[in-house]
Amino acid sequence: MSKQCAVTGKTSLVGGRYSNRTRATQYNPGTKVRRKANLQKRAIFIPELNKTISLTLSARAIKTIAKRGAYQTLKKVGLIK
């Protein structure tokens, strides 16, 4: 499974961990932590092509496809010609 959304391009990010001790003193920062994107594997049916495509999508991309339609969204990204 790829670690990037096929539509939005979302990947994981590195952010700072904020400990409770940091709130008490300003000289005790936390370590780095990797924040993963909400990626899910979905099979999407495209009625215009009468075809099913399996993609790894973020939750935002699933909502976009539900709103705009699979064919239009995937064509705009370049996954369909």
Domain ranges of the chain: 13-77
| 16 has pLDDT over 60 | yes
Q: What phi and psi, each to the nearest 5 degrees, are found at residue 65?
A: -65, -40
The mean pLDDT of 8-20, rounded to a whole number, is 85
Q: Which CATH class is domain 13-77?
A: mainly beta
- Give the pTM: 0.76
| 17 has pLDDT over 70 | yes
The mean pLDDT of 39-55, rounded to a whole number, is 95
| CA distances from residue 36 to 3, 5, 17 in whole angstroms, order as listed | 9, 11, 14
**The token pair that represents 18 in the structure block:** 């904020």
Among 26-35, 41-50, 51-60, 72-81, the range scoring the smallest mean pLDDT is 26-35
Q: Which SS3 state, helix, strand or coil, does residue 28 take?
A: coil
